[in-house]
């Protein structure tokens, strides 16, 4: 009696565990079947680079409908365009914030540095796309790294003078999108 009673609580969780394992296996199988190149690419990128968040990567490509049927080479160009789009929108945001004239002097000084950095990045990212199209992967790699670095330099500029950055999200996005593009370039070597 005692043995049976005590074996019930251990048997129940065990069978539950088996059921859960079975369910998990089924889920994994279904997921693998529907895995496409975006999933694979984002998975590989996020594993090889801790700066890349898998969901961020998936969401980023979802904003570009053409990525759905793209091969890896095309995905690389799409990711470069996503960087370009973000660099452009950041430049506009900085200009708007500066024009509003509602920021304190330290923030203003940081924004002015960022404007310079992002204006350079706008120029550089066009060259990245040109290099990439011509399969000059080394050139694209080096230039993309400088765009990525500019986003952290911009962010650090506010930290250095002890004011909050109004560009954290934009800098973070530029950084991650560049990391995704760099990761794809490395896959193509």
Binding site for ligand NAG (CB under 6 A): 31, 34-36, 39, 51, 71, 73-74, 85, 88-89, 92, 105, 172, 175
Residue with tokens 């952290």: 152
Supply the minimum distance, in Å, between the C-beta of residue 54 and ligand NAG. 8
Nearer to ligand NAG, 6 or 59 (CB): 59
Supply the minimum distance, in Å, between the C-beta of residue 42 and ligand NAG. 8
Nearer to ligand NAG, 12 or 92 (CB): 92
Whether the CB-CB separation of 64 and 81 falls below 8 Å is answered with: yes
Supply the minimum distance, in Å, between the C-beta of residue 37 and ligand NAG. 9
CA distance 19 to 85: 47
Residue with tokens 């790699």: 141
Phi, psi of 50 (to 5 degrees): -65, -15
Nearer to ligand NAG, 39 or 153 (CB): 39
Supply the minimum distance, in Å, between the C-beta of residue 167 and ligand NAG. 11
Q: 80 exposed, middle or buried (CB, 10 Å; 0-12, 13-18, 19+)?
A: buried
Q: How many CA atoms lie within 13 A of 189 on its CB side?
A: 11
Nearer to ligand NAG, 44 or 73 (CB): 73
CA distance 169 to 66: 25
């Amino acid at each position: 009696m005692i043995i049976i009673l005590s074996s019930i609580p251990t048997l129940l969780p065990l069978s539950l565990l088996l059921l859960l394992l079975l369910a998990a296996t089924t889920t994994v199988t279904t997921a693998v079947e529907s895995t496409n190149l975006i999933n694979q690419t984002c998975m590989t990128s996020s594993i090889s680079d801790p700066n890349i968040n898998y969901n961020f990567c998936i969401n980023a490509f979802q904003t570009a409908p053409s990525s759905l049927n793209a091969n890896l080479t095309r995905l690389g160009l799409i990711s470069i365009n996503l960087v370009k789009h973000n660099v452009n929108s950041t430049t506009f945001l900085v200009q708007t914030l500066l024009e509003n004239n509602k920021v304190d002097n330290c923030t203003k000084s940081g924004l002015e540095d960022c404007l310079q950095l992002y204006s350079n990045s706008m120029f550089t990212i066009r060259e990245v796309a040109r290099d990439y199209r011509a399969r000059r992967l080394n050139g694209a790699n080096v230039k993309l790294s400088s765009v990525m670095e500019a986003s952290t330099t911009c962010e650090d500029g506010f930290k250095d003078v002890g004011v909050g950055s109004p560009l954290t999200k934009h800098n973070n996005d530029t950084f991650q999108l560049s990391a995704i593009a760099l990761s794809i370039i490395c896959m193509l070597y």
